[in-house]
Each structure stands twice: as structure tokens, then as C-alpha cells.
Amino acid sequence: HQAHAGRMQHHWYPRQLHADRSWSWSASAQLIGEFSHLETQCCGRVDELTTEQVCSDLFPALHRLGAHIRHQLGPQGLGIAKITGLPTRPSLIATASVATGLVVGNILEPYGRLYSLYDRGGCYRSQAIPVSQTGKPIDFHTDSTRRDVVPDAISLSCVRDAVGGNTRLVSVARVYERLLTQSHDTIDRLHQSYIRAIVTPGQSTSQQDLLANQFPIFSVEHENRKLTFRYMRYWIEEGQHL
């Protein structure tokens, strides 16, 4: 297990998040003004925003935001960053979400640049649809069941407060370190590949595609010790049945 061992960067404990609030900050008036300027420029058509546009010298507060988010996430994307205090105007929230994504990295677009999370009345247990299209509860999980779509970071923008409990976050690096010291056999199994059900709308679900759609729950790139964690229990179980 020496290949897997070693402390991962940006592992954290809940008490650290409460003690050090550098991962969470409120939007400044300058940043809100820059988002409003971009909103006017693109007339609310966020698909037309470009990296060159948001990286211009007109938006220094946005650049500082991007640098701070990258620092908080760390090179492996294992950290957390949160921004509060933005106006709740939907078009501004959409502009801020896309602009921030563009200054942080490259946006993955299997569902488009923005994807609304709301209950469409379906059930992921009886239909091949993402859980995010339902109102069903779901335990800890990572996004994407497709082998070729691997996000380094996930961004969620709250358009309006939901009814229910708080979001729960877990440090995967901390879980991994604990498994290394307490359950070596489990680590070996989690590094094996498992078939995942394909639920992205419009994607082929043939037997050949399903067999090709398998990958580990944990994997580590040994050169840079980058930890990748891809887990959603239900889709893994469904993949084994199919």
C-alpha cells in the first residue's frame, strides 16, 4: 500500500471549517458591480461569455475571486470555497456562476453551462435519469457516472433557499487516510473498477457502452499524488445488475 500512502493536501476536519472561515467570504460591492457589468454585456446570454472576456483588465475583483477559489480548492480540488452576499436576481446569479467558472478553469458542459436542479416529477429508481431531476433524497455522492466526464470541482449556486436540512460535506482525503490506516483490504477493493449505470440523457446505454463505463471508486495518480473519488452507491449497484 505504499503507492497509496501519504497525507493528501487540503484534507480538513469540520472543526477546522468552523475555526478558520477563510474558505467563506462575502461578495464585495466591486465584485457585484463587475458581475452586473458582465450581465449587461452578455444581455443575460451566459452561453456567449468567453474566457477572454472575463479575463480582461476590466474585472480585477473577479480575478482575485478566481485566484482565491483556486487556492482554497487546492491543486487536487479537495478543498471548499463559498461566496455569499450576491443579489438574488436570476440573471446575475447565472452570469456570476459562469464567469466564476471561466476564471477558475474549463467548464464541463454535458448538460450545458448551467443546469437547473429541481424536481421534474420523475424517479431515478424507475427511470434512467439523474437524481438531480427528482425530489428524492440521496446520500453522499459525487457528480457524474460517465467514465469520460470527471469534474475536478463542482459548483452549486443557490437561487433560492430550499426547504429541508443543511448540506453535508465530507473530506474525501480524510476518509481515504483513515481507510489507509484502518482498513487496507477495503482500500484494495475500492481501487478496483466497477460498472456504473449510464443516466446522462441522450447517452447510449447498450451493453457494450455499459461494460466500457467502469472505473474505480478511488484512484491515485502516483506522479502528482492526485486523489480521485467517484462514488454514488445506487448507480454502482445498478451497474452490477445490468
Shortest CA distance to 41 belongs to which of 91, 103, 2, 82? 91
Categorise residue 121: left if φ over 0, alpha if ψ from -120 to 50, beta otherwise.
Answer: left
Enumerate the domain spans of the chain.
14-110+127-241
For the segment 218-232, what is each residue's pLDDT rounded down to a tens digit?
A: 999 877 778 899 998
Burial of 129 (0-12, 13-18, 19+ CB in 10 A): middle
CA atoms of 63 and 70, how far apart (whole Å): 11
Is it the case that residue 165 has pLDDT exceeding 80?
Answer: no
How much is the average pLDDT of 19-36?
A: 94
How much is the average pLDDT of 97-113?
A: 91
- Name the percent of the chain lying above pLDDT 70: 93
- pTM for the full model? 0.84
Q: Which residue has the higher pLDDT, 144 or 4?
A: 144
Check residue 2 and give its pLDDT: 35
Q: Which residue has the higher pLDDT, 116 or 208?
A: 208
Q: Label residue 242 by pLDDT band (50, 70, 90).
A: low
What is the chain's mean pLDDT, rounded? 86
CA atoms of 60 and 228, how far apart (whole Å): 32
Least confident of 95-104, 116-125, 163-172, 177-186: 163-172
Check residue 8 and give its pLDDT: 44
Check residue 164 and give its pLDDT: 67
End-to-end CA distance of the chain: 32
In total, the chain counts a number of residues equal to 242
Cβ neighbours, 10 Å, residue 123? 12
Q: CA distances (Å), 219 to each of 1, 118, 139, in order?
A: 13, 31, 21
